[in-house]
Structures are given as structure tokens and as C-alpha cells.
Chains A and B, each alone.
Chain A
């Protein structure tokens, strides 16, 4: 096998030491009636050269595209150094840092990550990652359930315009613990939660409320009002936000009078490639009084026997390897390497870089949207404030437009009707800071051309897109 280093001399010496004559005897405790595996489906081995040729051929079957799609996965510039450093063997091939004395590298990165995220979110503490944004939200709800252990309620409020896949994950996870979710009243005109109708809800059964900022349609929700409403009614408030918006938008720790109790997010926009959807980077931040109910690993600063500062995994009594069936979560392996990438990303951006990132995303999307809206039959569907995603509605020729884009190298955005049947002829569009002036121009050109009747498919080739 490719990576087994044993010579025949090694094997002979080792068998002799063990006191057996042939390798197969190593399995003499396995009952003979269990058949020996054949593995007929698995072909002969490839060496590295063959492997890379094979991988390249497969990669070419994916279409490379200029991405104007968001919807939970965002195409940002990733500084070249990030994955050069993150894939150093010392980060890439180490285990969970249980042996603290030989894991200070990973542990300090996690501590810095927690500190940067706490700052970003305006909350006291953060954990050292969960799987992805959707499971982080599910864990945040379970955490709220534990905080509210004396509350009779079995329901959690969620926004109507939560990412549909997030709703599916909540269904899977919360179903097993008999927690129901109820959608908050929705203002169809504005595309956001109708907070004026919150008081019509029977709140006795509600232990927590989730808010998402911006929502699935890209629109800004009135999170301050909802956070205050939750606090007045002894309901735990949970925020789910896009971290790349926080250079411009108010952090969850400062929403309303007192801020939210718990915040969670998908950290993929911070230096993690889209990679067909994973691995991404979920995490949770919270107020300090809730830290013992937080799931996942947490790193704390301490000292060694010579009073020298160092870092260790702490509050491990919450975790499955100690508490077993009574742990805060079953999570063990998390997304450690993506934490390294995100920490490098935040360090490189710095506070000004973050603000500039948020601003550039905002401006690119707003420019594209405003230019699109100048085309006859095209409009921005909702009038509310948005960050870097927007719903564009096309009066006519929507299928023609989609077919046109299909033949270009542009991924034009999400066809919203596939997820929300009432949203006919709409695209959810995102232009991050990575989209160039030429790419945005090209997008506009394609839309104009596609909407012209009797367009000529051959012309798309001449566009060079």
C-alpha cells in the first residue's frame, strides 16, 4: 500500500516479536464464520501522478463560474497566505488540543478567535466552533432550552424568512427533543417580520426567539424591537447574522436595550472557500452568564507551574467525553482548521479592513441592483434596506433569462421560486467585494441581451463570458 513503510525484514522481525508465524494470525480472534472482505468495487491503486491527473479530469466536469449567488455561501477574496499557513502540517495534522503542553499553537489561535469574535459580536464569550451556521442555530436553541429549564414552553419563534435549509436542519434536530418552532408574523409587503403583531402571540409556550440579520431576502429586520420585546417577556433572544455585514451593521450584543442573549453565525465568509458547501464554520457567542450552557470546546487562559501564561481547553465538564449522556451537546470533532483560517482572515483585515469589506459588498450589490432596476421590466422587489443581497424581479422572459445565463460563465443568483413558490420570476443576487467592475458590467449586459426578444444564442459567445 502507498503509505505502509514495512519491508519484509520488518514484518518478519515484528511477527517474531509477537510470536506468530504469519500476518493473517493477527486476526485469530475474529470468528471464522465472518467472511473475509473482497472489495470488488475498488479498483487498483493510483500513484500520486495518476491521482492528480484523475482529479483534474473530474474537476473539469464542474463548471467554473463568476459567482453572483449568495444564499448562505459567499464568494469573497481569500488572502493567499491564509491556506498556506493553515495547511502547515503543524495545524493540519494535529489532533484536538487535549495535551495542552504540545498544543499551545492551536490553543492560542482558538483563544484569539474567541476574543476576536466576542469583539465582533459585542458579546462576552465565544466557543471554538461548531459545524456550520445551521447546526449552530439548532445548538443555540437547545442552549436556550437549557437556560430556560424552568420555563413551561416548548416552542421557539423563528423568522418566516430564515434560510429554508436552516429550517430543515432545525426540523431534524429539534424534532428529536420535541421542540416546535413557530414562524413569526410576516409582512409580505415589506419582506420582513411584522413586529407589530408580536403581541398577538400566545407567549406562554415560547422560551426563545430567533432573529436573522439580514434575512433570507437580504433585507434588514427590526431586530432592536424584537430583542426588547423578548427581554420584556423573559424570552431568550438568539441572533443569527452574517459576520461580513458587521463592519457596517450593529453587533447583536448591542441590539435593543440590553443586547441578545446568544448569537450564532456561519463563518464561511471569513477566509473559508465555498467548496460546494463544506466544510464551513459555525460558532456561538453569548453573554457571560450563559457560558456553562454553551456547547462545544472553549479555550481559557491560565498559567503553568512556573506562572508562565498558557492556554487549555476549559469547562470540559459540559462535554461528552466527561459528562456522556448529560453533556450540553454530543459534538466532539468541530471545524478547528477553519478556525485557523478565520483567525488569520480577521487579523489581516483589522477593523478598517472589515469596514471596507462590508462597504464594498454593500456598494457593489447596490450598484448592480440600481442599474438592473433601470432596465424596463426589471425591479428591486422590496423597498427596505438591504446589505449585500437583494431580490430582483423580472416581469417577463424569466425562463429566457435563466437559459441565457446557463450558456454563459456567470452564476446569476438563486432562482427564488425553487425555495419560496410565491416568489415568481425572482433572483436572489449577491455581489461581494470580489466582483470586479467588468464582471458587474458583463452581468448587466447579459440581462439586457437576454431580455431582448429573439436574442441570438450565438452572440453570447461573442460576449466572451
Chain B
């Protein structure tokens, strides 16, 4: 039932109605600027509202309720202590334009977070303002562009992107007005170096790479690639979406990358919130530091923190948000790092990869086909159901939906696009062995269902609030608004 269907004319959540302090103050707005009809918002009691949204919440799978091995999304535990720390009144009630001398607490956190993230990434400087990974990518490509243009090298308009890359990479490069050149993946899962060499040249602005790639493979040739791109005059962008795989072990700055973003909602456990808010800080080496977006925190000789503006950094690509990005997410990432400490950060990549390789080994033992069986899983891995589809007409989607019945969120399906009928599985470091074993057991049951009881997979899920939904109808007969079109 929708909230609108519980509405009754004249009912109110009365405790939430603002009081008029100055009832005699006339509201003098000319008729042409005045609203004529109120919006048809629900008229409900406070309890009705609470009950409705509490019940809706119960129709979600979440990290707090289910194992969520969604590849490329790093669905790890989001600590409640961090949540509590970030919601202290002096943090959340603070106006963004409060003078800096009255905001030193928040600014100290941001300054320290910049330092920590520089260290973790092996870069020289960090800007925290991008509000999600894709905005970080936009900022990164804009900086690459600014760097070349600053050197009067106007011919460098091409960004090279592997075919396995996240969709945001080409979309962000396009937002920066760049031409996109797709580089294929070789048979071993690594970038095809011959193809790379063929496309490098005086038009190359840079390359965007995820390492480990979206196939869950660490690029063994990364140092060679870095040299090739640099020799051709291009720069290297690191898509931090998969940083969790190597966090605390190796650093993108030490692999030859010039610029990168971090997804704080992945590696640093800020909550995904059903699709955001995230945060996508950018980190750069000395070459790109002058171009960072504005809104960094610096410390003066008296130990006071201040914001940088375009006056301090005239070559900056500019401002990315009205205020300071997704500030509260930045506080959480800082508190998470405090919680983990030096050793805890070093454990992230190790245990994320341990869990991934354990699942990778066990799933192969029960008969699933790995896309790259001879490689190490770098925090995630791909299995393909191509054979099952040929033999039994069972697809990756069928297996994904059947997993929901067993109480597991589905892995990422049909991505990366170059592996047919694939599932991309990422367990993260915060899952314990018992829970991984339950997942393996469910996958084993599904394995026997594939051969013995295909219909139960084809019609899955069976135990969820709704059955498989009609996407085609949704797109054909658009219903995006309860009230239909406007009056």
C-alpha cells in the first residue's frame, strides 16, 4: 500500500506543525506569485507515517540483514560507532558558511583525513569535495585536461579506457568533452598491451584503469603500462572502486598513477544508503596538485585551519558542490580510519582477498566455472554460467534470483560485459567463515537444482515480497508518479 492510500482529508501529524509566533503579521504575496492549490501530499498521523516506512524498510535486503556479495560494490560492515560519532549535534547542526574560526573541529578532521588518504594512496595531495566516485572521475579527467592545456598541449583529447571498465569511466570522460578510445582485454584477463601500444600517441591525454580490474585481477603488467603511457606523454587515472582489494598493501601512487578517486562508501565503510550519499575524494601526485578542485583545508603558522579558494590555487578546475561535498561522509571515513588504525588498514586488502580466494576455490570445487581459473582473486572474482545456459537454459540471472530465496543478496550480474552469463562476487573482509560457508552451501544446492529442477530457478525468487518484476512494462507504460500527469 502507498502512503497516499492511507491519507484522509484533515488528518495531521500535529506535533510536527510549526507554530505561528506572529499571527498578526500579514502574508503579503501578490496573487501572481501565490500558490493556488496545495500539493496532494498524504494527510496522515505521525504513527501512520512511522509504521508505513518501518514496514517498507523491512522489504529491503541490507548488509545489516543479509550477506551481500555484490561485486564491485564492497558491501562491508558499516560500524555503528562511526555513525554515532558523525551525528554529534555540533557536527550535524553546523552551518556550512560559519566562519572558519568557529569550525575548527570539522576542519581539523578534514585536514587529517587529507593526510591519511594521501598516505594510503601514495599520492601527494587530496581534495575531499567530490560527492561520489563519478564526480571524482569527472574532477580527475578535468585535471588531466587542465594539465595538458596548461602546457599548451592542446592535441591531447583522447582518454583510453579498457572494455572491462565501469560505465562511469567513459561517461565521466564524455562529461569532460574527451574522445573515448576503448582498449580490449587480452586472453589472460589483463589489458592487451599490443592494442594499448597501437592507440598511444600525441593525442593521448591519459588512461583510466581499475586495478585490480573489474574482473578481479591485479594487472601484473601495471608498471609496464605506466611506463608506456608516460612515455607517450599521457597520464594515468586510477579508478578507486576496487581499492579495497589492495588497501594497506600497495599504493596506486607507487604503481605509477598520477591521479585517482577513492570511494569512501566502499573502502572506508560509509553507508551506501540505498544508493548514496557516497563520497569520491580525489588524490593526485605533484604534477596535478595545482589543478585540484577548490575547498581543501590548510593549516597556517598559528595552527589554525582555513579553506583554500581560487585565490590560493588559481589553476584549480574550480568548485564541484555548493559547499564542502558530502561532508558528513568525510567525517565517517575519518572515524573509520581511527577505529581501524594502522594495522587495521593493512588488514583490509589481505582479508578481503582471503575471503574472495576462499569462495573462489570452494565454488570451483563444487563445479562452477571461473572466468579466469588460473589467476588469484583480488577481492572479487567472476564465474560464468555459459555452459549451464547451453545445457540447461539456466542463466546468470536465474541463479542470482534463486540466491535471494536462500537469503543472500545476488552478486553483480552481467558485468563486466565481456564475460557471458557472469556473476561478479565480492565477499569483503568483514564476513566470517561460517557465513561464507552458508553461501557456498546455497550455491551447492543451486548447482543440483540446475541439473535436476530447472523450473524452480526459472521462476525464482519465490520467497520475496514480489516475484520477478516486468521491466519491459515499466519502461513501456511509464508510471513514475502516483498522480499521473499534472492537472
Q: Which residues of A contact B84 (CB under 8 A)?
A: 52
The residue in chain A whose Cβ has the minimal distance to the Cβ of B46 is A348
Looking at the assembled complex, report how far the CB atom of B366 sits from the nearest CB atom of chain A, in whole angstroms: 12
Q: Are A320 and B167 in contact (CB under 8 A)?
A: yes
Looking at the assembled complex, report how far the CB atom of B458 sits from the nearest CB atom of chain A, in whole angstroms: 11
Known contacts A52-B84, A224-B32; 8 further A-B pairs (Cβ under 8 A): A3-B430, A17-B361, A41-B119, A116-B41, A166-B322, A251-B39, A254-B36, A330-B134
Interchain CB contact (< 8 A) of A297 among B83, B275, B464: B275
Give bound CA distance, A340 to B410, whole Å: 23
Q: Are B317 and A30 in contact (CB under 8 A)?
A: no
Interchain CB contact (< 8 A) of A352 among B17, B355, B375, B469: B17
A445 within 8 A of B: no
Q: Which residues of A contact B180 (CB under 8 A)?
A: 325
Give bound CA distance, A336 to B310, whole Å: 31
Complex interface residues of chain A between 82 and 112 (CB less than 8 A to chain B): 83, 85, 87-97, 99-106, 108-109, 111-112
Give bound CA distance, A64 to B105, whole Å: 11
B92 within 8 A of A: yes
Among the 9-residue stretches B21-29, B229-237, B442-450, the one with 4 or more Cβ atoms under 8 Å from chain A is B21-29
Q: Which of B62, B246, B275 is most buried by chain A, counting CB atoms within 10 A of its CB? A: B275
B249 within 8 A of A: yes
Given contacts A17-B361, A347-B3, A347-B49, contact A314 B60 (CB under 8 A): no
B268 within 8 A of A: no
Q: Which residues of B contact A322 (CB under 8 A)?
A: 167
The residue in chain A whose Cβ has the minimal distance to the Cβ of B52 is A347
Q: Are A42 and B345 in contact (CB under 8 A)?
A: yes
B147 within 8 A of A: no
Interchain CB contact (< 8 A) of A5 among B218, B324, B430: B430
Given contacts A72-B322, A88-B54, A169-B321, contact A36 B85 (CB under 8 A): no
Q: Which residues of A contact B19 (CB under 8 A)?
A: 360, 433
B346 within 8 A of A: yes
Q: Are A325 and B170 in contact (CB under 8 A)?
A: yes
B392 within 8 A of A: no
Q: Are B106 and A37 in contact (CB under 8 A)?
A: no
B97 within 8 A of A: yes
Q: Are B376 and A278 in contact (CB under 8 A)?
A: no
B373 within 8 A of A: no
Q: Are B16 and A95 in contact (CB under 8 A)?
A: no
Give bound CA distance, A321 to B416, whole Å: 10
A464 within 8 A of B: no
Looking at the assembled complex, report how far the CB atom of B401 sits from the nearest CB atom of chain A, in whole angstroms: 7
Give bound CA distance, A406 to B102, whole Å: 9
The residue in chain B whose Cβ has the minimal distance to the Cβ of A119 is B39
Given contacts A87-B83, A275-B91, A320-B171, contact A46 B341 (CB under 8 A): yes
Q: Are A278 and B326 in contact (CB under 8 A)?
A: yes
Looking at the assembled complex, report how far the CB atom of A285 sits from the nearest CB atom of chain B, in whole angstroms: 10
The residue in chain A whose Cβ has the minimal distance to the Cβ of B53 is A85
The residue in chain B whose Cβ has the minimal distance to the Cβ of A52 is B85
- List 29 A–B pairs whose Cβ atoms lie within 8 Å, in order of A's numbering: A1-B347, A1-B429, A29-B218, A37-B250, A40-B342, A51-B85, A52-B84, A59-B105, A62-B98, A75-B93, A75-B95, A85-B57, A102-B409, A123-B486, A169-B319, A172-B319, A178-B177, A247-B35, A266-B322, A277-B321, A277-B327, A279-B328, A320-B134, A320-B167, A348-B49, A349-B16, A350-B41, A359-B18, A385-B33
Complex interface residues of chain B between 234 and 256 (CB less than 8 A to chain A): 246, 248-251, 254-255
Q: Which residues of A contact B93 (CB under 8 A)?
A: 64, 67, 75, 273-275
Q: Are B357 and A276 in contact (CB under 8 A)?
A: no
Looking at the assembled complex, report how far the CB atom of B475 sits from the nearest CB atom of chain A, in whole angstroms: 5
Complex interface residues of chain A between 405 and 450 (CB less than 8 A to chain B): 406, 411, 414, 433, 436-437, 440
Q: Are B39 and A351 in contact (CB under 8 A)?
A: yes
Interchain CB contact (< 8 A) of A250 among B33, B116, B480: B33
Looking at the assembled complex, report how far the CB atom of A387 sits from the nearest CB atom of chain B, in whole angstroms: 8
Looking at the assembled complex, report how far the CB atom of B363 sits from the nearest CB atom of chain A, in whole angstroms: 11
Looking at the assembled complex, report how far the CB atom of B295 sits from the nearest CB atom of chain A, in whole angstroms: 9
Looking at the assembled complex, report how far the CB atom of B437 sits from the nearest CB atom of chain A, in whole angstroms: 10
Give bound CA distance, A26 to B473, whole Å: 46
Give bound CA distance, A11 to B357, whole Å: 12
Q: Are A314 and B478 in contact (CB under 8 A)?
A: yes
Question: Could you give, for residues 294-317 of chain B, a 1 whenever the CB lies within 8 Å of some chain A CB and a 0 otherwise?
Answer: 100000000000000010000001
Q: Are A2 and B79 in contact (CB under 8 A)?
A: yes
Which 8 A-B residue pairs are closest in the complex by CB-CB distance?
A: A277-B323, A45-B341, A89-B64, A337-B273, A277-B96, A61-B105, A336-B275, A279-B277
Q: Are B167 and A327 in contact (CB under 8 A)?
A: yes
Q: Which residues of B contact A31 (CB under 8 A)?
A: 220, 222-223
Q: Are B103 and A62 in contact (CB under 8 A)?
A: yes
Interchain CB contact (< 8 A) of B430 among A4, A104, A333: A4
Give bound CA distance, A427 to B32, whole Å: 28
The residue in chain B whose Cβ has the minimal distance to the Cβ of A46 is B338
A10 within 8 A of B: yes
Question: Could you give, for residues 190-233 of chain B, a 1 whenever the CB lies within 8 Å of some chain A CB and a 0 otherwise?
Answer: 00000000000000000000000000011010110000000000
Q: Which of B54, B70, B323 is most buried by chain A, counting CB atoms within 10 A of its CB? A: B323
Looking at the assembled complex, report how far the CB atom of A372 sits from the nearest CB atom of chain B, in whole angstroms: 14
The residue in chain A whose Cβ has the minimal distance to the Cβ of B379 is A26
Complex interface residues of chain A between 306 and 337 (CB less than 8 A to chain B): 306, 308, 310-312, 314-315, 317, 319-327, 329-337
A458 within 8 A of B: no
Give bound CA distance, A3 to B352, whole Å: 12
B453 within 8 A of A: no
Give bound CA distance, A39 to B275, whole Å: 31
Looking at the assembled complex, report how far the CB atom of B359 sits from the nearest CB atom of chain A, in whole angstroms: 10
Give bound CA distance, A44 to B28, whole Å: 61
Question: Could you give, for residues 128-152 of chain B, a 1 whenever the CB lies within 8 Å of some chain A CB and a 0 otherwise?
Answer: 0001111101100010010000000
B271 within 8 A of A: yes
